[in-house]
């Protein structure tokens, strides 16, 4: 059995480790590939408490994923990290809209402060931009539990930290790696080079990636353009150490991502319709010409991976990141400063107006123009050095985070006349001249800003060599000035037969004119208008805490108990025009967490860590996308966007188990199990209730939420097992690697209209590499058994100006797991001789 070092030695080792990563260059702790002992358990260092410690000595539930493992498994998309960390769900519905779920707690853009913050080099950035690509990574840590007094943004369920590879002073060295896969025509290549410029003083590292493929592989039966996603990025990192006690790390990264993607659907297609007589639109039922079933597309199954829209959605992102990390050891303390900026350049993106293809021959994007979208992060922190014999250690710091976003959502509405003459018969076959005449654009300007000021402190009391008590407080001041300004541009609507005005449309009044499309009919001008402007600026304050007690029952068994609180403000419901202010602005969310954990090292070949937890929520920000509501601006029904959240009281309970083992020579296994269940505590929430028609006095339907109702938006039970088996050969080494990820039944509450069935995805790898680790060539099969599973399912509502005329589309929008990807990979590491 491994003999645990004494508390004195443990503190000394923590201090040395801490100094080793003062620049936050965890990459320097990941020794060169040639020296890695892949066939045995490694000591894992993490910075969960903002200082480098052995994972087994940290009274926090945490998981570390090394840059080498990311490279070995050919991971270039961060969503694949979910396969290695049970209980963590990462998805990207398109090129820049992420969903993060940890311990059952869900976050998507629009809900406000991230419930699971994402840090790049200790700076909290927008996950949607941070997740666009991943390359030359030193380490990723999945931290579970309250983070409010440990690092920047307050969080109750955890955080994700990403550290890029940092330069070192050793020598000139670098790497190049890549993969080529079939199925989605996926090609990816990345590389990096480290160059010392001044001995032990200055070094630089340059890295980059090119990644190209067919996005999610969903193609449209009504379009010739294939889906695509291309990412290009380059990064420059600099480490400067003018004196031994001062280290400065700087990183600049530019990334460009462009994607053309389709909305995947499943269903039989439109059921068709017999002709309906004229009812004198708009005072009665509009007349509709007969049209055949499946006119908008054929029957489609989930395995077909097909869409029916006539043009793809478009996404383009150009993002600049800059991070600065400085650390100065002085007078027995470490003074550290972190600064980060993220700037997303303006570029319009577009969502297709008619994803169900109810209007054949016409498909136009509703555009989103992004203005100055910036994030700034700044943190100053003073920490006592962990030294042997000290009774107390402490940290104090100040944190500032600011964001500015200027968005314009330009939605389109088809007015009477666009789809045919409602007095003579409508048709789903587009008349482009009529649509051009009778369409209306409704831009909504949204100005979002946040400013968060925090001051925090942590005190660690070393009660004895075996017992430690940690307490922390954070004071938060949060301001979110917001303006929502909906407008509509001018347009025309077919109004009435000219006979109604004695044969002269001018007698209809100001704004009436002869229709150039329909002879004998009059058009009415729909004037441009500014609608209700909502200005929202509320300064809110909160104080949160964290308290933890840990104790070594033996040298190899650490137990801990933690409680902590969290607070986060929501954002207004963007891209939901005509929604009352009472629904637009949710209340802030408050939560309290309780956790018990145990970390054990059975022997050199077996480590077992476990935790149980509970989170109590007041006003949890819960997503309710695609819910019917009454648009008070247009006077017609609509549906909520993905960025609509409502407050619900809830409770989360769960457990986690992590086992790292070396059961036989040359085999390393890592097993992660996670269970979390969210239950409502009662109250009301948005719902679909056809028995209660929507109107100006009933803008949205609210239903009672039964106490104890499951609110999970991810599977309650998740598991992952990954392994690496080294096969020593005469002149090279062979290897077999695998990762098996199991996802249980998914309630999909608030995110889908149907439960997701349980499924298992298996990734397999095999190859050979040189004894010294200079090169590696392998084959891989991700989702090797081509498992298919529907993740989410929602009705398609294309907008009242279309579906109200032509009835059900016959399709549901779905998302599915990634199809099988088979390919080859390579790595080559080089160093100056």
Residues 6+ apart with CB under 8 A from 581: 534, 536
In a domain, 510, yes or no: no
Task: Compute the C-alpha angle 209/368/231, nearest 5°.
Answer: 10
The Cα 107–Cα 126 span in angstroms is: 12
Q: 793 lies in which domain range?
A: 7-489+528-831
User: Which strand (E) or helix (H) includes residue 645?
Assistant: strand 645-661
pLDDT at 801: 55
SS (H, E, C) 367-414: EEEECCEEEEEEEEEEEECCCCCCCEEEEEEEEEEEEEEEEEEEEEEE
Q: Which of 522, 516, 518 is nearest to 500 (CA)?
A: 522
Name residue, tokens 């009662």: 682
Is the distance from CB of 571 to CB of 561 less than 8 angstroms?
no
Calculate the alpha carbon distances from 694 to 583, 700, 705 in Å. 15, 6, 20
In a domain, 639, yes or no: yes
The Cα 34–Cα 701 span in angstroms is: 62
Is the distance from CB of 724 to CB of 749 less than 8 angstroms?
no
H-assigned helices in 157-199: none
pLDDT at 833: 61
DSSP 276: B
Task: Compute the C-alpha angle 792/588/150, nearest 5°.
Answer: 90
Residues of the chain with pLDDT below 70 are 1-40, 93-96, 110-112, 275-287, 346-348, 368-372, 532, 633-634, 797-805, 833
pLDDT at 38: 58
pLDDT at 9: 38
In a domain, 196, yes or no: yes
pLDDT at 572: 75
Residues 6+ apart with CB under 8 A from 444: 408, 409, 410, 411, 484, 485, 486, 487, 575, 577
The Cα 797–Cα 809 span in angstroms is: 8
pLDDT at 26: 36
Is the distance from CB of 261 to CB of 95 less than 8 angstroms?
yes
The Cα 728–Cα 272 span in angstroms is: 65
Q: 806: which 2 tokens? A: 């032509």
In a domain, 190, yes or no: yes
The strand pairing partners of 552, in sequence order, are 558
What is the total count of domains within the chain? 1
State the CB neighbour count (10 A cutoff) for residue 274: 8
In a domain, 71, yes or no: yes
pLDDT at 281: 44
762-789 burial, b at 16+ Cβ within 10 Å, e below that, comes to: bbbbebebbeebbebebebbbbbeeeeb
Q: Which of 344, 345, 491, 349 is nearest to 410 (CA)?
A: 349
In a domain, 541, yes or no: yes
The Cα 191–Cα 175 span in angstroms is: 5
In a domain, 11, yes or no: yes
Sign (positive or negative) of CA dihedral 772, 774, 779, 784: positive
Residues 6+ apart with CB under 8 A from 378: 337, 338, 339, 340, 399, 400, 401
25-45 burial, b at 16+ Cβ within 10 Å, e below that, comes to: bbbbbbeebeeeebbebeebb
pLDDT at 133: 85
Is the distance from CB of 679 to CB of 651 less than 8 angstroms?
yes
Looking at residue 579, which CATH number applies to its domain?
2.40.170.20
Largest CA distance in the chain: 101
Is the distance from CB of 165 to CB of 207 less than 8 angstroms?
yes
In a domain, 336, yes or no: yes
Residues 6+ apart with CB under 8 A from 711: 622, 648, 650, 678, 679, 680, 747, 749, 750
pLDDT at 561: 97
Does this model's pTM top 0.95?
A: no
Residues 6+ apart with CB under 8 A from 277: 285, 287
For the chain, what's the residue count? 833
Residues 6+ apart with CB under 8 A from 408: 367, 368, 369, 371, 443, 444, 445, 446
pLDDT at 370: 62
Sign (positive or negative) of CA dihedral 49, 53, 55, 56: negative
The Cα 500–Cα 514 span in angstroms is: 12
């Amino acid at each position: 059995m491994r003999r645990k070092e004494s508390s004195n030695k443990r503190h000394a080792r923590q201090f040395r480790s801490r100094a080793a990563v003062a620049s936050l260059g965890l990459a320097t702790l990941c020794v060169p590939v040639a020296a890695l002992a892949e066939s045995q358990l490694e000591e894992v260092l993490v910075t969960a408490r903002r200082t480098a410690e052995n994972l087994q000595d940290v009274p926090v539930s945490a998981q570390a994923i090394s840059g080498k493992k990311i490279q070995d498994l050919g991971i270039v998309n961060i969503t694949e990290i979910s396969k290695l960390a049970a209980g963590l769900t990462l998805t990207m519905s398109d090129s820049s809209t992420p969903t993060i779920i940890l311990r059952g707690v869900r976050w998507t853009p629009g809900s406000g402060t991230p419930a699971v913050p994402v840090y790049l080099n200790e700076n909290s950035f927008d996950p949607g931009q941070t997740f666009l690509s991943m390359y030359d990574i030193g380490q990723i840590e999945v931290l579970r539990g309250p983070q409010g007094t440990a690092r920047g943004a307050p969080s109750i369920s955890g955080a994700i930290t990403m550290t890029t590879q940092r330069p070192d002073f050793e020598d000139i060295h670098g790497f190049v790696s890549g993969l080529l896969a079939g199925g989605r025509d996926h090609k990816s290549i990345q590389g990096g080079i480290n160059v010392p410029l001044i001995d032990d003083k200055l070094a630089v590292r340059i890295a980059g990636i090119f990644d190209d493929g067919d996005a999610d592989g969903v193609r449209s039966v009504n379009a010739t353009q294939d889906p695509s996603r291309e990412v290009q990025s380059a990064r420059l990192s600099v480490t400067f150490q003018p004196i031994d006690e001062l280290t400065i790390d700087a990183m600049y990264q530019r990334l460009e991502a462009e994607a053309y993607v389709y909305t995947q659907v499943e269903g039989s297609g439109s059921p068709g319709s017999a002709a309906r007589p004229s009812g004198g639109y708009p005072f009665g039922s509009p007349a509709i010409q007969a049209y055949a079933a499946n006119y908008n597309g054929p029957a489609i199954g989930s395995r077909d991976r097909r869409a029916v829209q006539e043009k793809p959605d478009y996404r383009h992102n150009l993002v600049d990141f800059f991070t600065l990390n400085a650390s100065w050891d002085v007078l027995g303390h470490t003074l550290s400063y972190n600064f980060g900026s993220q700037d997303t350049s303006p570029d319009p993106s577009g969502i297709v107006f008619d994803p169900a293809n109810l209007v054949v021959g016409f498909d136009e994007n509703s555009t989103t123009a992004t203005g100055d979208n910036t994030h700034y992060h700044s943190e100053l922190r003073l920490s006592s050095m962990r030294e042997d014999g000290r009774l107390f250690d402490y940290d104090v710091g100040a944190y500032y985070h600011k964001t500015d976003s200027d968005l314009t959502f330009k939605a389109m509405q088809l007015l009477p006349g666009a789809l045919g003459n409602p007095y003579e018969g409508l048709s789903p076959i587009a008349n482009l001249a009529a649509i051009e005449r009778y369409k209306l654009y409704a831009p909504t300007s949204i100005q979002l800003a946040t400013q968060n000021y925090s001051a925090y402190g942590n005190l660690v009391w070393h009660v004895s060599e075996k017992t430690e008590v940690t307490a922390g407080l954070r004071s938060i001041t949060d301001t979110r000035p917001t303006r929502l300004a909906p407008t509509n541009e001018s347009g025309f609507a077919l109004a009435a037969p000219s006979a109604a005005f004695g044969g002269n449309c001018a007698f209809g009044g100001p704004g009436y004119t002869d229709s150039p499309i329909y002879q004998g009919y009059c058009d009415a001008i729909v004037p441009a208008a500014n609608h209700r402007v909502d200005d929202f600026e509320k300064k809110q304050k909160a104080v949160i805490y964290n308290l933890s007690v840990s104790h070594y029952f033996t040298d190899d068994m650490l137990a801990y108990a933690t409680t902590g609180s969290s607070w986060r403000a929501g954002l207004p419901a963007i891209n939901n025009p005509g929604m009352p202010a009472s629904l637009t602005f949710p209340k802030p969310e408050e939560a309290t967490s309780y956790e018990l954990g145990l970390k054990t090292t059975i022997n050199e070949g077996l480590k077992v860590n476990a935790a149980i937890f509970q989170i109590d929520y007041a006003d949890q920000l819960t997503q309710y996308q695609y819910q019917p509501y009454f648009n008070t601006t247009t006077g017609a029904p609509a549906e909520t966007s993905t960025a609509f959240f409502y407050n619900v009281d809830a409770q989360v309970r769960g457990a986690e188990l992590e086992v790292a083992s070396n059961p036989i020579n040359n085999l390393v296994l890592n097993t992660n199990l996670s269970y979390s269940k969210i239950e409502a505590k009662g109250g009301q929430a948005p719902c679909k209730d056809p028995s209660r028609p929507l109107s100006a006095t009933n803008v949205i339907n609210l239903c009672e939420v039964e106490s104890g109702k499951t609110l999970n938006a991810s599977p309650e039970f998740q598991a992952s097992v990954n392994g690496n088996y080294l096969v020593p050969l005469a002149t090279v080494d062979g290897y077999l690697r695998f990762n098996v990820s199991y996802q249980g039944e998914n309630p999909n509450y608030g995110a889908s209209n149907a439960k997701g069935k349980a499924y298992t995805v298996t990734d397999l790898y095999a190859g050979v590499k040189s004894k010294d680790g200079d090169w590696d060539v392998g084959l891989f099969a991700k989702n090797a058994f081509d498992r298919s599973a529907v993740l989410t399912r929602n009705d398609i509502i294309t907008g009242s100006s279309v579906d109200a005329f032509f009835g059900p589309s016959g399709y549901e929008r779905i998302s599915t797991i990634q199809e099988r990807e088979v390919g080859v990979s390579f790595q080559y590491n080089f160093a100056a001789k």
